């Protein structure tokens, strides 16, 4: 789906069924067409613990988080003003 849609940003949960966040990050890093997509890793596990298992993400969100934090982070990472309508 990433290759088909090629999003501007990916929010990736560390604990997913079938493929965890670390495996997904590795797969994205091995695909040249996906390497430039910034990834925000999300988890209830502390970032220090995940940093030992994962590389390649640009930011981390500790769950639970506020939706306003998500939108502000997304706007910052893709370079858009959150108050803008375009």
Q: Is residue 84 part of a domain?
A: no
- pTM of this structure: 0.85
| Each residue's pLDDT tens digit, 20-47 | 999 999 999 999 999 889 999 999 999 9
Domain containing 11: what range?
A: 2-78
Q: Is residue 41 part of a domain?
A: yes
pLDDT band at 74 (very low <50, low <70, confident <90, very high): very high
Cβ atoms of 69 and 61 closer than 8 Å: yes
Output the domain CATH number for residue 48: 3.40.50.2300
Q: Provide the domain count of the chain.
A: 1
């Amino acid at each position: 789906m990433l290759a088909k849609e090629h999003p501007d940003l990916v929010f990736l949960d560390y604990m997913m069924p079938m493929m965890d966040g670390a495996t997904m990050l590795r797969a994205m890093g091995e695909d040249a067409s996906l390497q430039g997509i910034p990834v925000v890793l999300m988890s209830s596990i502390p970032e220090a613990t995940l940093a030992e298992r994962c590389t390649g993400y640009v930011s981390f969100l500790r769950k639970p988080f506020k939706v306003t934090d998500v939108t502000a982070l997304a706007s910052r990472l893709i370079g858009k003003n959150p108050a803008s309508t375009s």
